[in-house]
Amino acid sequence: MRTHFLIFVFVFTVSKPLFSQIDDRMSPLSPNSIQLEGYLDRYIRQSINEWNKGGLPYSEFVNFFKEGRPQFALGEMWGKAVRSGCMFYRYTRDPELKRIMQETVSDMLSAQDTNGCISCSEPEKQPDGPNGDLWERKYVMLGMEEYYEWVNPDPAVLSSLIRQADCIMSQVGKAPKIEITDLGWSATNIGYEPCHIESSSLLEPFMRLYKWTGEQRFLDFATYIIESGGTKHYNIFEMALKNVQPYKMAGHYPKAYEMLSIFEGLVEYYRVTGKPEIKQMFLNLFHNVRKYEITIIGNGGSDQPYHPQVAGEAWGNTALEQTNPDITRMMETCVGVTWLKFCSQVLRITGDPSAMDEIEKYVYNGLIGAMKPTGDGFSYVNLLNGCKVNGHGWGWHFDDLHVTCCNLNGPMGLAYIPYVAAMNSREGPVINLYNQGEIHFRSPRRKPGTIAIATDYPVSGDIHMKVSLGGTEKFTLKFRIPEWSKATTLRVNNQEVSVVPGAYAEIARKWKDGDEIALSLDMRCRVVDAPHGSNRAGDNFQAVLYGPVVLARDESMDKDYNQPVTLQSEDGFIQAVQETPTAQPVNIQFSVPIEGGKYITMIDYASVNNWDNGKHVCTWIPKKEKE
């Protein structure tokens, strides 16, 4: 039964573009303000070179709009490729990447029809629900919006975006137009009632366009999307407000990726309207996904036991079910990346460090663990036990290159690492991730400064930072103390500062050139027991964590990789011995003690390479039964 839910918005009268009614607690630094090195930057550079600047067939993506698509939703590919390329350019200022982006945007602009739409469907078939027309147009808009914001604020691009939005509004809406919840492919494609959740993700590009133009009609259309409820038969906004668990939202099709995408747009709507109930909706979803869905490696969604027909891409109470041996597909890369982006929105709005803890967990495990070692793509879904990576899923072959939604979304996750690694607050800079590199910032009085970070984190937990500042100024530097780091030491110029796990250490003082900060995080190996979901066969497992990193056994290194063992732990910690990796590329390797004075080899989950070799991973280790 559909529940009707009406949201009243403020009536705005503006003579200039309205950007925001709500100020973020944290905001990104200016483009090119962060230069990372080493651990994470290696993955970023490899993806740029081998994927965004490598083999991606941008012109063939555009041709879907000029000549038609042979399969539903293929028009999403261009926007996904372009938006990650633009975010990478924000980080690197790579002239070759800029040229590629300029050329493909120009090519796409030439595909705009006289009615204003850029669509893979012929005008007489628009809006083409079963073929994913609105979903594709959403990604065209997002790709162009990233380009306009970070690469080139070309008036022709903004004009195109306005025409695209106007065309959509001429076709979609109250009768005699077609309702947005009547347009889409889900979930009739898997034999269930219509859902059409994917089309309501237009909320985000419309809100971004509104903030640039101040045009009320774009805000009105965003309000219409929310009033429509997000799906055909279930109001996901009202369900979020009522704290319904994610796997019970949207009936048979609680599609995780699309739902998070819609709620990213809802955050943007809150920034403009300031409505408290809107904030409560997205915060409830954030907390519920975090509690009920996110696994040990930072991603969520599964096929079993609740939504087997959705191929592991629906919410599935996955935090509790993650050791369920019946699961065959779980943790779609599109879900993880969109969760990362949604967490970044929550972080900016609230300053809540738990959102950054979630980002860190996914970055060091699920994200880089889904990337091909060669850098040219990402897995579609991932397992914790079994065949770690699986590239099979929706996509298209371009000669020998198989492009999927997930290997297009994975790079966007990487591109967000420098976007969130350090930020600004009204009080001063905020350090969120501790990768080696340099952070360039402006103090509250607009003085230029630099924070140099020297560390091999997360290989170890020792982080040294040095401030360079033209003069002396009192402001606050904030350092995220991860929730898992229970015994942390923080010193400023050798003077210890008290800290609290799961909070920001806020140091307000007169900072000067040469000030040094030493942070030592608690990197003792921790042992955690399996959660208890619906299947008792998944109860008797344990996992080992090292800082933010999840360790795993790799069949390529150990033929007994999945045999039951008894980990020798005390009070939740285990005295594992860190070793020089015996295989490359492996980031972190440990010798882990088990019963009988023996040891097993464990490496970081991300380094387990099951691509094309038929080998398996064991992250949740079966416990040996007591004799």
Does the pLDDT of residue 527 top 60, yes or no? yes
Helix (H, G, I), strand (E, B) or coil at 406: helix
Does the pLDDT of residue 626 top 60, yes or no? yes
Mean per-residue pLDDT, 270-275: 97
Q: HSE (CB half, 13 Å, CA atoms) of 589?
A: 15
List phi, psi (to 5°) of 578: -75, 135
147: tokens are 């380009």
579: tokens are 């070793």
489: tokens are 């030491």
542: tokens are 């344990």
First to last CA, the chain: 53
CATH of domain 27-424: 1.50.10.20
Does the pLDDT of residue 439 top 90, yes or no? yes
Does the pLDDT of residue 206 top 70, yes or no? yes
Mean per-residue pLDDT, 207-233: 98
- At 16, is the pLDDT very low, low, confident or very high (cuts 50, 70, 90)? very low
Do residues 213 and 153 make contact, with C-beta atoms less than 8 angstroms apart? no
pLDDT tens profile 591-619: 999 999 999 999 999 999 999 898 999 99
Angle between helices 333-350 and 405-421 (to 10 degrees): 30
Q: How far is CA 91 from the centre of its chain?
A: 17
Q: How far is CA 507 from the centre of its chain?
A: 29
Q: Where in the chain is the domain with CATH 1.50.10.20?
A: 27-424
Mean per-residue pLDDT, 76-87: 99
pLDDT tens profile 316-347: 999 999 999 999 999 999 999 999 999 999 99
The widest CA-to-CA distance across the chain, in whole angstroms, is 78
Do residues 143 and 83 make contact, with C-beta atoms less than 8 angstroms apart? yes
**pLDDT value of position 14:** 30
**pLDDT value of position 3:** 36
Cα–Cα distance for residue pair 348/2, rounded to 1 Å:
33
Helix (H, G, I), strand (E, B) or coil at 176: coil
Do residues 39 and 433 make contact, with C-beta atoms less than 8 angstroms apart? no
243: tokens are 């704290």
Helix (H, G, I), strand (E, B) or coil at 8: coil
**pLDDT value of position 627:** 65
Residue keyed to tokens 């663990």: 369
Do residues 137 and 75 make contact, with C-beta atoms less than 8 angstroms apart? yes
Give the DSSP letter string of 262-331.
Answer: HHHHHHHHHHHH--HHHHHHHHHHHHHHHHHT--TTS---BSTTT-GGGTT-B---HHHHTT-TT--SB-
Average pLDDT, the chain: 96
Question: 137: which strand partners?
Answer: none
Cα–Cα distance for residue pair 102/122, rounded to 1 Å:
26
DSSP designation for 255? B
Helix (H, G, I), strand (E, B) or coil at 371: strand
Q: How many Cβ atoms are within 10 Å of 513's Cβ, its own excluded?
A: 13
Does the pLDDT of residue 20 top 80, yes or no? no
- At 32, is the pLDDT very low, low, confident or very high (cuts 50, 70, 90)? very high
**pLDDT value of position 625:** 87
- At 584, is the pLDDT very low, low, confident or very high (cuts 50, 70, 90)? confident
Do residues 41 and 437 make contact, with C-beta atoms less than 8 angstroms apart? yes
Q: Where in the chain is the domain with CATH 2.60.40?
A: 429-457+462-520
504: tokens are 């920001």
608: tokens are 């387990």
Share of the chain above pLDDT 70, in %: 97
Burial (CB count within 10 angstroms: exposed 0-12, middle 13-18, buried 19+), residue 575:
exposed
Give the DSSP letter string of 329-355.
Answer: SB--HHHHHHHHHHHHHHHHHH--HHH
CATH of domain 429-457+462-520: 2.60.40
Does the pLDDT of residue 5 top 90, yes or no? no
Mean per-residue pLDDT, 341-367: 99
**pLDDT value of position 369:** 98
